[in-house]
Amino acid sequence: MNDDSSRAFLGLILGTLAVYAELVFPGLVLPGVSGLVVVMLSISYFTGQAICSHGVVLLGLTALLLYLDGWLATSGLLSGPAAVSMMLGARLLMSAPEKKVRWYAAAASFPFCAITAVLLRLVLQAQANKSILR
């Protein structure tokens, strides 16, 4: 079996987490640069493959649910369905059966969605509470 799509999906998640680390600790160049390189390599793998539109729609739904979870202050109620949507979207992303993302790679979407929901909530709270200095 070919695990390239699983590696590419894990690379997409880990690269995004590295970019998150750069945003949390600004000035560390290595996480941001290496994260972007890994994300770009993962995206370049997926652009050369046959992609199923159902998987793309589910991954878009994941982004929407995570944003709404932070914006509506639902205390994480929407991050669970977002993680399930991301896991199913990862599994349905590749149209060829031998190229499917494996379950262990798709299961990485649960901690990724939890981290993303927490960081997004903190960003939206910080934007709402910013003070104007004169």
Three-state SS across the chain?
CCCHHHHHHHHHHHHHHHHHHHHHCCCCHHHHHHHHHHHHHHHHHHHCCCECHHHHHHHHHHHHHHHHHHHCCCCCCCHHHHHHHHHHHHHHHECCHHHCCCHHHHCCHHHHHHHHHHHHHHHHHHHHCCCCCC
Q: Which domain holds residue 65?
A: 4-128
Q: Is residue 134 part of a domain?
A: no
Domain count, the chain: 1
- Look at residue 2 in the predicted model and tell me its pLDDT: 56
Give the pLDDT band of residue 53 (cuts 50, 70, 90): confident
Pick the range with the lowest mean pLDDT from 30-39, 60-69, 87-96. 87-96
pTM: 0.74
- Look at residue 1 in the predicted model and tell me its pLDDT: 37
Q: Is residue 133 part of a domain?
A: no
Q: Is residue 31 part of a domain?
A: yes
